[in-house]
Amino acid sequence: MGEFVREPKAEALTPREHPSGRRLAALDFVRLSASLFVVSYHYLVLESAWGRATAEIFPHGRRVAAYGWLGVEIFFLVSGFVICMSAWGRTLGQFAVSRISRIFPAYWAGVAFTALVLFNWPEVRRIGKVSDVFVNLTMLQGGLRVPHIDDAYWTLFVELKFYVLFACVIRMGVTYRNCVAFCGLWTLAGIVAPTTGDGVLAFFAIPTCSPYFIAGIAFYLMRRFKPNMLLWGMVVLQFLLAQTHVQARMASNLGKEAGERLPAWPAHLVIALGFVLMAAIALGFLDRVQWRWLPHAGALTYPLYLVHMMAGLTIIHHFRDGMAPVPLAFAVTGFMLVLAWLIHRLIERPVSRLLRTGLTKAVEDMRAETPDSEPRTHPPLPQRSSAAERESVPVGR
């Protein structure tokens, strides 16, 4: 066992060391597919916008879209990979700067747009209090028991918990050994949390989601170093643990009766496909996938995730009597993609640069005041995002 836990020699180039500087475009493909799968679930399955059974409106499309919620699980799998990749060689301050500047600008735009739509057309959802919008801007509403402005935002609080946990690894130093130890401890916590009755442990263990994050980390370790029995064992274990939550996730997303009525095997198949795709990326089998449009499409996935659900359902509800269902669903999807592009170009990119510059200066000032608080061998905080940082995206990216 010692030879598997010991830091192996990095024989293969890491994604950030690729001689061409190219990003992993295959990750963009996975993210894009997952985001569109989630959109199809919300638009073709949820009945709140249509006012009648979607099985009657989309008799064929709904059969596939009924499993679209699994796109979130795939996002978590990708997130484990890219967060481990982007955190390598960074200090805790650098990691915090990269995360804040990366996830909040588009999120603030998403909250503002969704709130504007819901205030003006409270047809599907009403905002209870204006203060709820302000709390949502912090992304901490999940811990404060404040309603989400958009139901899709529950995943973002899960991501934040993952960042907090992985920050412990960064503080100790992101190494092969520390990542493996972290994965082992988190796996153990996820297994025992449901039986202990410890609320704090269950809060951070996130047993329904942690298998995907952990598997993503293991896949990145395979890519950075090389596969071995320990890493494959971790992936297989997480795959098996993920299967135990499928039925409960089906019930929570489709209702108990529908969840029991629909076959579970397609859900297991989608999860397996996600693991296979990530394994192919980890082993370098998809490095030749470099279609020029993929990075642009991948950049839209996070803003799309943030704006599509409640605002999209409201638009569908507003125009459902004047437009046929299928063209309406496609039109709203197209509108949300255009909106996502505008948010990315006009808000996310420029505001992220401003935040990164300001936060970098603040962290450097703190380091100057406490020179012995961190090792002096760390590189200066980056002013521009690296290829790994562009890969590093939370749910929906």
- For residue 34, count other CB atoms closer than 10 A to its CB: 28
Inter-residue contact 264 to 246 (CB < 8 Å): yes
> How far, in Å, CA of 397 to CA of 390, rounded?
10
Q: Give 101's contacts (C-beta < 8 A, 6+ positions apart).
A: 352, 353, 355, 356, 359
> How far, in Å, CA of 328 to CA of 316, rounded?
7
**DSSP letter string over 122-135?**
TTS-----HHHHHH
Q: Could you report the per-residue pLDDT of 172-214, keeping only the tens digit for each?
A: 999 999 999 999 999 999 999 888 877 888 889 999 999 999 9
> How far, in Å, CA of 393 to CA of 271, rounded?
20
Angle among Cα 46, 113, 162 to the nearest 5 degrees reads 75
- For residue 200, count other CB atoms closer than 10 A to its CB: 9
**DSSP letter string over 302-339?**
HHHHHHSHHHHHHHHHHHTTTS-HHHHHHHHHHHHHHH
- CA distances 248 to 48, 156, 189, 366, 380, Å, are 22, 20, 19, 46, 46
Residue 118 corresponds to which tokens in the numbers above?
């819901």
> How far, in Å, CA of 365 to CA of 371, rounded?
10
Query: Torsion angle, CA of 154/159/160/163, rounded to 10 degrees?
Result: 170
Number of Cα atoms under 13 Å in the Cβ half of residue 344: 21
Query: Strand locations in the chain, DSSP E?
Result: none
Inter-residue contact 288 to 22 (CB < 8 Å): no
Domain ranges of the chain: 2-391
Average pLDDT, rounded, for the chain? 88
The tens-digit pLDDT sequence of the chain (397 residues) is: 455 555 565 544 344 344 334 578 899 999 999 999 999 999 999 999 999 999 999 999 999 999 999 999 999 999 999 999 999 999 999 999 999 999 999 999 999 999 999 999 999 999 989 999 999 999 999 999 999 999 999 999 999 999 999 999 999 999 999 999 999 999 999 999 888 877 888 889 999 999 999 999 999 999 999 999 999 999 999 999 999 999 999 999 988 777 778 899 999 999 999 999 999 999 999 998 888 888 888 999 999 999 999 999 999 999 999 999 999 999 999 999 999 999 999 999 999 999 999 999 988 888 777 655 444 444 554 444 444 444 555 554 4
For residue 345, the 8-state DSSP code is: I
> How far, in Å, CA of 34 to CA of 393, rounded?
13
Model-level pTM? 0.89
Q: Give 211's contacts (C-beta < 8 A, 6+ positions apart).
A: 187, 190, 238, 239, 241, 242
- For residue 144, count other CB atoms closer than 10 A to its CB: 10
Q: Could you report the per-residue pLDDT of 283-324, keeping only the tens digit for each?
A: 999 998 888 888 888 999 999 999 999 999 999 999 999 999
Residue 227 corresponds to which tokens in the numbers above?
């596969």
